[in-house]
Amino acid sequence: MAKDAAPAKSEKPAKAEKAPKADKVVEAEKPTKTEKPAEVRPPADPRLKVLKKFQGKFLPKGVLRERYKAIMDRWNSGEDHGGVMLDELKKLLEDWKGTREKPPRLPKA
C-alpha cells in the first residue's frame, strides 16, 4: 500500500491546464481599424497661445499692466472673449518683450 501512494504524489499536472499568456489576451482585445475614430477636435484658439505667455509673468506698473488688465477684463467678460483680437495680444507681447531687452553691449576699445 505504501508503494501505491508514492507514485500518485509524484505525478505532475498537465501543462495544458495553465492559463494562456497575458500577451495573447491583450492582442485579442485590440480594436480593429474599421472602427470610427474619435471626433476630431476643432483647432485651438490662436489667441490662447499668445495669452498663455503672460501666465505667471510679472508686468511692471504702468501702461503695459493697464493694457493687460483691460484685455483680461474683456477676455473674461463673455463667451466670445469680448472681441479681443490676436493682433492686440501680439502687440502687447512685443511691447512687453521690448521693455525686457538688455541694452546692447558697447565694444571695448
Are 90 and 50 in contact by the 8 Å Cβ rule? The answer is: yes
C-alpha closest to that of 74 among 85, 63, 65? 85
Q: What is the mean pLDDT of the chain?
A: 78
Percent pLDDT > 70 in the chain is 66
Range 53-64 burial, b when 16+ CB lie within 10 A, else e: ebeeeebeeeee
10 pLDDT above the threshold of 70:
no
Helix residue ranges, H only, the chain: 2-10, 22-29, 46-51, 63-75, 86-100
What confidence score (pLDDT) does residue 24 get?
Answer: 55
Tell me how far apart the alpha carbons of residues 30 and 22 are, in angstroms, rounded to a whole number: 13
- Cα 25 from chain centroid (whole Å): 31
Tell me how far apart the alpha carbons of residues 59 and 15 are, in angstroms, rounded to a whole number: 72
Domain map of the chain by residue range? 58-100
Per-residue pLDDT band for 94 (boundaries 50, 70, 90) equals very high
Percent pLDDT > 90 in the chain is 27
Strands (E), the chain: none
| Chain segment 28-57, per-residue pLDDT in tens | 565 556 666 678 888 888 899 999 998 888
